[in-house]
Amino acid sequence: MLGFLALGLACVWQVKTVVGRSIYLEERSANECDVTHTEGEDDTPNIYQALSDCPSGPIVFTANTTYNIFSPVQFNHSDYSVSILGNLSFPTNMTAVQGAVNTSTNGGFWIYFSGENVNVTGSEDPWSGWIDGHGQQWWDAYNQVARPRTFGFAVNNGYLYNLKFYKPIAWVVSLATASNVYAGNIIIDARSNGSFPFNTDGIDGSGSDLLVEDATIYNGDDAFTVGQNSVGTRNVTFRRAYVSYSSHGLSIGSLGKDPNQPSNVSDILFEDVFLENTLYGARFKSWVGGVGLAKNVTYRNIGVRNVSFPLYLTQSYVDQESPGAPRANNASVIMQDFTYDNFYGDINTFHQGDASCVSDPCWYYEEGADGTQAAILRCNPGTCQNFTLSNIHLRPQSGVPATLLCNNPPIASPNAGFVCQNGTFISA
Ligand SMILES: *[C@@H]1O[C@H](CO)[C@@H](O)[C@H](O)[C@H]1NC(C)=O
Ligand SMILES: *[C@@H]1O[C@H](CO)[C@@H](O)[C@H](O)[C@H]1NC(C)=O
Ligand SMILES: *[C@@H]1O[C@H](CO)[C@@H](O)[C@H](O)[C@H]1NC(C)=O
Ligand SMILES: *[C@@H]1O[C@H](CO)[C@@H](O)[C@H](O)[C@H]1NC(C)=O
Ligand SMILES: *[C@@H]1O[C@H](CO)[C@@H](O)[C@H](O)[C@H]1NC(C)=O
Ligand SMILES: *[C@@H]1O[C@H](CO)[C@@H](O)[C@H](O)[C@H]1NC(C)=O
Ligand SMILES: *[C@@H]1O[C@H](CO)[C@@H](O)[C@H](O)[C@H]1NC(C)=O
Ligand SMILES: *[C@@H]1O[C@H](CO)[C@@H](O)[C@H](O)[C@H]1NC(C)=O
Ligand SMILES: *[C@@H]1O[C@H](CO)[C@@H](O)[C@H](O)[C@H]1NC(C)=O
Ligand SMILES: *[C@@H]1O[C@H](CO)[C@@H](O)[C@H](O)[C@H]1NC(C)=O
Ligand SMILES: *[C@@H]1O[C@H](CO)[C@@H](O)[C@H](O)[C@H]1NC(C)=O
Ligand SMILES: *[C@@H]1O[C@H](CO)[C@@H](O)[C@H](O)[C@H]1NC(C)=O
C-alpha cells in the first residue's frame, strides 16, 4: 500500500511545527509519497513503490516508524528528494546481509544513490531518523567477511543534511565519486560497548567540490578521508567538526597504492575541528613506490585533547594485510604546498594508541615515538615541498617540552616554521 498525500499549501503551514520537518518543508512540493511499512517484512520494495509513484519526490520515511531495510536499496533516479524522519533498520541476520553483499552490483552499499540533483535530509528529532546498522554483533564476532558499506552517495549536485548513523557495521558514508555536494550536520555514532568497531570509517570525501561541515563522529577508523583510490580528488573542505572515540582522525590517503595509477588530490581544507581521545589528528599516508601529487592542503585550527599522534605523515606506508602490487622502485607521491596552522591541545603521553591493536608490533607503532611528539614527519628525500607549520601549541601530558620526529626536511619551504630534527620541537 502506498501512502500518497495530496496536501494543499494551507496544510503545509500546519505541519510546519512538527519537529524534524522544517528543513524538508522549506523545499517540499505539494505532494509527497510516504514509504509504507509492513510489520516484520522487508520495506525495500515499498521504497521502490514510493519512488515509482513519486519520481520527483519527496519520498518520505515517516516519523515514529522503524523501517526494515532487509535488502539493499538503490536510488537510481535524478531530480528528487528523500526525507528520512523515521528509523531505518538494517537486518540483524548477519548471514542474510553477507549473502546480499556477495551478490551486490554496486560495491556492497546497503543504501546507494546515484544520479543528479538529489537531496537527502534526516530528522532534527534526536530519537528518530537514525540509520541503524546493528554493527555491535559484527564487531563482537570480529566478523569482517562480506560487510556492507552503509551509505553511498554517488551524486552530482546534491545535499545531505541532518543524517544520523548508529552502530554501522563498517564504512559509513561514501562521497567517493560525488561532485558538488554539501553535507551538513552528519552524526555518526560507532561507539561499541564490546569489541573494537573496526573499519567504521566515517566519511570518504574522495570526490570533488565537496563541503562537509558540522559533523559529529565517534568511530574506530578515519573520521574523514580523502584520496583513497582516487585519481582526481579536488576542492574538498571538511570543517567545524567534533571527532572522538577511537577515531583515526582527518586523513589523506593512503595515496599511491597502485604504482601504475597516479593518486592526485588538490585544494583540500580541514578547518576548525576538535578531536578528543583519538589515535591521530591530521594524518597523511602514501605508499613506497607510489606516484601522484597531493597539492594545496591546509589543516587549520585543529584542537586536540588526549590525542596520540596529532600531526603525522608517512611516505612509506605499507598495509601489511593488503600490500598491493609489487613496488618497482622507491618513488613517492609528491606533497606540495602543505600548511599546518594553529594546532593546540594535549598529546596522549601515557596511554598511546587505541584498542585496535591486533599485532606485535602494533600497526601504529612508530620507531622513536614516546608520547611527546607534537609532530611525526616522515618525508622521503625531496618529496615534501613548500611546507609550513605555524602556531603549533601541542604539549605532552607529562609537562616536558614537545618533541618532533623528522626524517628529511621539506624542500622549497621558505616558511617551514620548524627545525627538522629528532628531538625538541623548535619553531623557526
Ligand atoms: C531510533 O533509533 C535510535 C537509535 O537506535 C533509538 O535511540 C530510537 O529510540 C529509535 N526511535 C524509535 C522511534 O524507535
Ligand atoms: C512521535 O512520537 C512521539 C512520542 O510518542 C510524539 O511526541 C511525536 O509527536 C510523534 N511524532 C510524530 C510525527 O508522529
Ligand atoms: C540501478 O542501476 C543499476 C546499474 O544501472 C542496475 O543494475 C540496477 O538494477 C538499478 N536498480 C534499480 C532498483 O533500478
Ligand atoms: C535540493 O536542494 C537545493 C538547495 O536547497 C534546491 O535548490 C534544489 O531544488 C533541491 N533539489 C531537489 C530535487 O529537491
Ligand atoms: C538468516 O538468514 C539466512 C540466509 O538468508 C537464513 O538461512 C537463516 O534462516 C536466517 N536466520 C534466522 C535466525 O532467521
Ligand atoms: C560471502 O562470500 C564470502 C567470501 O567472500 C564467503 O566466505 C561467505 O560464506 C559468503 N556468504 C554468503 C552468505 O554468501
Ligand atoms: C551492549 O549493548 C547491547 C544492547 O544495547 C546489549 O544487548 C549487550 O549485552 C551489551 N554488551 C555488553 C558487553 O555490555
Ligand atoms: C568548491 O566546492 C564548493 C562546494 O561544492 C563550491 O561551492 C565551490 O564553488 C567550489 N570551488 C571551485 C573553485 O570550484
Ligand atoms: C596527476 O598529477 C601528475 C603530476 O602533476 C600529472 O602528471 C597527472 O597528469 C595527474 N593525473 C591526473 C589523472 O590528473
Ligand atoms: C587552495 O585550496 C583552498 C581550499 O580548498 C582554495 O580556497 C584555494 O583557492 C586553493 N589555492 C590555490 C592556489 O589553488
Ligand atoms: C607555498 O604554499 C603556500 C600555501 O599553500 C602558497 O600560498 C604559496 O604560493 C606556495 N609557494 C609557492 C612558491 O608555490
Ligand atoms: C630521525 O630518526 C629517523 C629514524 O627514526 C632517521 O631515519 C632520520 O634520519 C632521523 N632524522 C634526522 C634529522 O636525523
- Whether residue 285 contacts residue 314, with contact meaning beta carbons closer than 8 Å, is answered with yes
Mean pLDDT of 305-329: 87
Q: Is the pLDDT of residue 27 over 60?
A: no
Which atom of ligand 9 sits closest to the CA of residue 334? 4
- Ramachandran region, residue 277 (left: φ > 0; alpha: ψ -120 to 50; beta: rest): left
Backbone angles phi, psi at 141, to 5 degrees: -90, 0
Is there an atom of ligand 3 within 6 Å of 105 CB? Answer: yes
Q: Could you tell me which CATH number the domain at 7-424 has?
A: 2.160.20.10
**Domain extent listing, the chain:** 7-424
Q: Which of 111, 36, 34 is nearest to 76 (CA)?
A: 111
Residue 24's pLDDT band (boundaries 50, 70, 90)?
very low
DSSP-assigned letters across all residues of 287-322: ETT--EEEEEEEEEEEEEEEESEEEEEEEEE--TT-
The confidence score (pLDDT) of residue 230 equals 72
The confidence score (pLDDT) of residue 218 equals 98
Q: Is there a catalytic annotation at residue 132?
A: no
| Residue nearest atom 14 of ligand 6, based on CA coordinates | 99
- Whether residue 153 contacts residue 181, with contact meaning beta carbons closer than 8 Å, is answered with yes
Model pLDDT for residues 210-247, shown as the tens digit of each residue: 999 999 999 999 999 998 877 679 999 999 999 999 99
DSSP 410: P
Q: Which ligand is nearest to the CA of 21?
A: 2
Instruction: Compute CA distances 246 → 46, 90, 200, 307, 364, whole Å.
Output: 37, 24, 10, 10, 13
Is there an atom of ligand 7 within 6 Å of 92 CB? Answer: no
Residue in the block written with cell 540483524: 92
Q: Which of 239, 179, 229 is nearest to 208 (CA)?
A: 179
- Whether residue 114 contacts residue 158, with contact meaning beta carbons closer than 8 Å, is answered with no
Name the more confident of 21 and 189.
Answer: 189
Which atom of ligand 12 sits closest to the CA of residue 408? 13
Mean pLDDT of 390-395: 98
The confidence score (pLDDT) of residue 378 equals 97
Rounded to whole angstroms, the Cα distance separating 57 from 119 reads 10
Is there an atom of ligand 3 within 6 Å of 76 CB? Answer: yes
Mean pLDDT of 107-111: 96
Mean pLDDT of 140-167: 98
The confidence score (pLDDT) of residue 30 equals 54
Q: Is the pLDDT of residue 12 over 50?
A: no
Residue 313's pLDDT band (boundaries 50, 70, 90)?
very high
Cβ neighbours of residue 122 under 8 Å, at least 6 residues apart?
Answer: 20, 83, 84, 85, 129, 161, 162, 163, 164
95 C-alpha to ligand 6 centroid (Å): 8
| Test site for ligand 11: of 386, 387, 415, most ligand atoms within 8 A of the Cβ | 386
Model pLDDT for residues 239-283, shown as the tens digit of each residue: 999 999 999 999 999 999 988 899 999 999 999 999 999 999 999
Mean pLDDT of 35-45: 98
- Whether residue 60 contacts residue 85, with contact meaning beta carbons closer than 8 Å, is answered with yes
User: Integer distance in angstroms from the first to the last C-alpha of the chain?
Assistant: 69
Residue 56's pLDDT band (boundaries 50, 70, 90)?
confident
Q: Is the pLDDT of residue 147 over 70?
A: yes
DSSP 30: S
277 C-alpha to ligand 7 centroid (Å): 22
Residues with CB under 6 A from ligand 4: 27, 79-81, 117, 119, 159
Rounded to whole angstroms, the Cα distance separating 163 from 184 reads 8
Residue in the block written with cell 620541537: 425
Which atom of ligand 10 sits closest to the CA of residue 236? 5
Residue 9's pLDDT band (boundaries 50, 70, 90)?
very low
Residue 324's pLDDT band (boundaries 50, 70, 90)?
confident
Q: Is the pLDDT of residue 176 over 90?
A: yes
Q: Is the pLDDT of residue 358 over 90?
A: no
Q: Is the pLDDT of residue 22 over 70?
A: no
Residue 375's pLDDT band (boundaries 50, 70, 90)?
very high
Name the more confident of 22 and 188.
Answer: 188
Cβ neighbours of residue 357 under 8 Å, at least 6 residues apart?
Answer: 363, 364
222 C-alpha to ligand 9 centroid (Å): 25
Cα angle 62, 64, 65 (rounded to 5 degrees) comes to 65
| Residue nearest atom 6 of ligand 3, based on CA coordinates | 105
pTM over 0.85: yes
DSSP E strand stretches across 205-307 = 208-213, 216-219, 224-226, 233-245, 250-255, 263-276, 280-287, 292-307
Percent of the chain with pLDDT over 70: 93
Percent of the chain with pLDDT over 90: 84
Cis-peptide into 414, omega within 30 deg? no
Q: Is the pLDDT of residue 404 over 50?
A: yes
Which atom of ligand 4 sits closest to the CA of residue 158? 1
